[in-house]
Amino acid sequence: MDNTSQVLERSAQLFSGKRVLLVNPVADRLVSTLPADWHVWTWDYGVWLALRGQLPEDRLCFSHLCPEVQADVAILVMPKALERAEYALAQIAPMLAPGGLMLLVGEKKGGITRAERLLSSHGEAVEKLDSARHCQLWQARRKEQVSPFVLSDWQSAFVVTLADQQLELVSLPGVFSHGRLDEGSELLLQEQAELPAGKVLDFGCGAGVLAVALSRRNPQTSFELVDVDALSLYCAEQTLARNGIEARVFPSDGLSDVHGRFNAVVSNPPFHTGIRHDTSIAERFFEQVTRNLVPRGELRIVANGFLKYPQLVEAHIGPCQVLRENSRFKVYSAVAPG
C-alpha cells in the first residue's frame, strides 16, 4: 500500500467500525483492508476506475463536489495543491457532526507540514498523531459552528486577451494554472496555423482555454475535451458555456475512455503526478494516440523545452517539427502516417 495508507493503517482504531468519509485516496487496497463504513470522494478519474470493484457504486463518488453523507470521521489525503486541500476541507467539515474527527495525512515533502493551519480553520484540539514512512498524520475535532460550503465562493472567473479574441475562463482551486493563462498554453495559442477540419480532441483540457480559442479560429472543427480531474471537467463545461461554444466534455484516464478517431489532437500534456516529476502520462499518450488519429491527422502540443518529447513523438507518430518556441517552451506538430 501507499505510504499514506500504511500510516492510516497504524491508527485504524480511530475509525474502525465507524462511518468514514475518505477523500482524495490513493488507488490501493486501504478500503478493502480496514473495517469501516466507507464513503469515498475522489476527483481523480483514474482512482475512481481503480476503486470501482472495492465499493458499492453509491459509496464511491467522482465529482468536483463532496457527496452529501453523514460521517463520524473524515480523512483527507493531502493533495498536491494547498488550495485544493482548503477547498476539500471546506466541504468535508459540514458533513461531520460537531466534535467529529477530521484526519489529514500526507507526505512531508507534499505540504502536510501546513496541516495545523489547514485544520484550524474548521477544527480545534489540533494535534499530530503519527510521523512515519516520510508522512505525518494530524487530527482535529470539528468546531461547533462551521460555515456552509458555497461553490461560488471558490469559483473564479477571469478574462484572457489573445491577439484575435477575448475569452472568459472559469477555474477552481487546484485546476491547472488556476486564475491565469499559463505560459505554455499562451505560446500554443500564438500559433495561427489552421487545424484540420473535423473532430478535434483537447487532451488534458484543464479549464478549457485551448478548445474555446481554437474552436473560434477553426469553425470547421468539432471539439471533444477530456481530463482526469473532476474539477477541471466542471470548469471546462462552465468555460464553454460562458463563451458560447458547444463541445463534448468527459472524463478519461489518459486515453482510456476516448473512442473513435480525430482529425487533430491538441494538448498541453502534464508531466507531474502529485508532487513528483512524471512524464509517464505523456509517454503513454504518445504511444496510444495514433489509434485515435485519422491518417494524416495532426498532433499539436506544447511542452517544456527540456522534455525529450520530440524523440517520443517521432517514434510513435511521425516527423516532429517545432512551430514556435520561447526560452522555456516549444510548440510541436506531427502528422500521422497516411
Q: Cβ(321)–Cβ(179) under 8 Å?
A: no
Give the pLDDT of residue 271.
63
Question: What integer pLDDT is reported at residue 79 of this predicted model?
Answer: 95
pLDDT at 272: 44
152 by Cβ neighbours in 10 Å (0-12 / 13-18 / 19+) ranks as exposed
Q: What's the pLDDT score for residue 246?
A: 97
pLDDT at residue 264, rounded to an integer: 98
CA distances (Å), origin 318, targets 131, 296, 303: 49, 10, 17
- The predicted pLDDT at position 282 comes to 79
The predicted structure's pLDDT at residue 277: 52
319: how many CB neighbours lie within 10 A of its CB?
10
Q: What is the pLDDT of residue 278?
A: 60
DSSP-assigned letter for residue 44? B
Chunked in runs of 10, what are the mean pLDDT values of the chain (338 residues)?
Answer: 94 92 96 91 97 94 96 96 96 95 94 94 96 95 95 96 96 89 95 97 96 98 98 98 98 96 93 55 88 97 91 93 96 94
What whole-number distance in Å separates Cα of residue 22 and Cα of residue 42? 8
What is the structure's pLDDT at 224?
Answer: 98
d(CA 255, CA 251): 9
pLDDT for residue 195: 97
pLDDT per position as a tens digit, 252-289:
999 999 999 999 999 998 764 444 456 677 788 999 99
